A and B are shown apart, each in its own frame.
Chain A
């Protein structure tokens, strides 16, 4: 376990903060860490910042996330990881297409692991189109950060306060019908991911989906996050859409 002192706290959008801390370790986009808040809990969080300074971006939804929101610079937290496979530009086995034109679809705090992925891949020369969704304009995460990568960014809000009035999957469907993409990456609420897997299948584009499950060990032995025999913490959290379609639990 790495003990890190909180370096900086950023208010990202309504009810959502980023906690930055120094941790000199290699982490891949889409990987996650287990964050220990002494006396409170330990929870899985995607890394939203991957350079020398690492970060997690957290919406306050319960006891553990409320404790994260109360952190101040200098406070110590325990970090285990990085865990999981992360997004892969090369794709999973049996899918060796190189992907230069990428569609990134994110909903809510699911945008947290997508942002560093888009940053890294855009810097490596990929042409990336992002579509992100949230309840309302004040809750949209990382829209400026994504625009700064040079990617085109489309927005959807449930209440129409910004961009498309409706679901981000509707924006995705329009983009997929207008343009040809090599790959889709997605992270967000599971109903959104389910629709994205269906769209990817219909438009015949490979899709990688980052899933969220309650986790205990984080390194693949306890089985508490298993879905159809696959461990979200170890075999995932990023899964190929075709595998997910074959699982009854998805």
Chain B
């Protein structure tokens, strides 16, 4: 049988499906369930900040045609309360990546240090959440600022540092090059796209925060394009995310250059075991097309 094992910056994964940040990743028990029942090869926690945060008020999530829109607003218990959750998640024996958000290089470094102390296998810098003031996309658009953040984090921790970036930046190739040059160990692309929904019968935006992030099948072509562009530009591994619900979606991302993929909204579309299903579909595709190893697919469509 073909192998879908993969490796990113030294992190070995039994299969290339990763729980994306923000989905079910706020408690260790939820992450354990995503591994055990869901079959994920790796999981990223919810984004954690220095202080506890409630996030935006309701409504904060909606189902639209072929997409979801959410404005959770980075709710989290704060880094100091999160160590126990990581410890529970690590009982799985699978790699756990700690997602962190901050607005300064110093705070990013502090958070990364604590994630490393808790036992996280890597950290993922949230440089791309589109609906939280002063965080996410607001710090992740300017390559100079991203470079400063990476320099601070890299000097603090030994575990790999992944940067999750947005498609909504002026120059994604330039940003990717900066991340590589600043010592980044991998790039995760993409986050949700900034979006909103107005209810015609009411005449108002539905989300309490007005703006949210669009996810789900509708954004997949944008994600594939970004992974394609980034992986042509840099040698560090790329993790593809955005609208993946099937093995065929994942294959597109691999062919664009992703070494692994993340699934978030797919949990809604196909259930917690979406990881198991997608991995089985990847293997079935490889079998049908005569591939033995996932590495044969990665970057295939880039041409070079």
B25 (CB) vs chain A CBs: closest residue:
A223
Please indicate which of the listed interface residues B58, B75, B206, B265 has the most CB atoms of chain A within 10 Å of its own CB. B58
Say yes or no: A221 contacts B30, CB within 8 Å: no
Q: How far is the CB of B209 from chain A (nearest CB, A)?
A: 12
Residue B26 contacts which of A1, A224, A230 (CB distance < 8 angstroms)?
A: A224
Is B238 interfacial (CB-CB < 8 Å)?
no
For window 178-228 of chain B, which residues contact chain A by CB distance below 8 Å?
199, 201-202, 204, 206, 208
Residues of A near B59 (CB, < 8 A) are: 34, 36, 42, 78, 80
Is A159 interfacial (CB-CB < 8 Å)?
no
Say yes or no: A223 contacts B30, CB within 8 Å: yes
Is A54 interfacial (CB-CB < 8 Å)?
no
A39 (CB) vs chain B CBs: closest residue:
B204
Is B299 interfacial (CB-CB < 8 Å)?
no
Residues of B near A222 (CB, < 8 A) are: 22-24, 60-61, 70, 72
Residues of A near B55 (CB, < 8 A) are: 216
For window 69-83 of chain B, which residues contact chain A by CB distance below 8 Å?
70, 72, 75
Is B95 interfacial (CB-CB < 8 Å)?
no
Say yes or no: A220 contacts B202, CB within 8 Å: no
Say yes or no: A229 contacts B29, CB within 8 Å: yes
Say yes or no: A220 contacts B267, CB within 8 Å: yes
Is B63 interfacial (CB-CB < 8 Å)?
yes
Give the complex CA separation of A219 and B62 in angstroms: 9
For window 142-179 of chain A, which residues contact chain B by CB distance below 8 Å?
none
For window 55-112 of chain A, which residues contact chain B by CB distance below 8 Å?
76, 78, 80
Q: How far is the CB of B236 from chain A (nearest CB, A)?
A: 29
Residue B33 contacts which of A34, A218, A229 (CB distance < 8 angstroms)?
A: A229
B203 (CB) vs chain A CBs: closest residue:
A38
Q: How many of B's residues come within 8 Å of A, CB to CB? A: 33
Say yes or no: A76 contacts B58, CB within 8 Å: no
Is A6 interfacial (CB-CB < 8 Å)?
no
Say yes or no: A221 contacts B265, CB within 8 Å: yes
Known contacts A221-B267, A223-B30; A3/B61 CB under 8 A: no
Q: How far is the CB of B117 from chain A (nearest CB, A)?
A: 24
For window 200-250 of chain A, which residues contact chain B by CB distance below 8 Å?
216-224, 226, 228-231
Residue B61 contacts which of A221, A226, A228 (CB distance < 8 angstroms)?
A: A221
Q: List, sorted by A's number, 27 A–B pairs whose CB atoms are closer than 8 Å.
A: A3-B199, A3-B201, A34-B59, A42-B58, A78-B59, A78-B206, A216-B58, A216-B75, A217-B61, A218-B61, A219-B61, A221-B24, A221-B61, A221-B68, A222-B22, A222-B60, A222-B61, A222-B70, A223-B30, A223-B46, A224-B26, A224-B75, A226-B30, A229-B27, A229-B29, A229-B33, A230-B33
The 10 closest A-B pairs by CB, nearest first: A229-B29, A217-B61, A42-B58, A3-B201, A42-B59, A229-B33, A223-B24, A223-B26, A229-B30, A221-B268
Identify 9 new A-B residue pairs, CB closer than 8 A, beyond the known A1-B62, A76-B202, A229-B30.
Answer: A3-B199, A36-B59, A39-B204, A78-B199, A216-B55, A219-B61, A221-B24, A226-B27, A226-B29
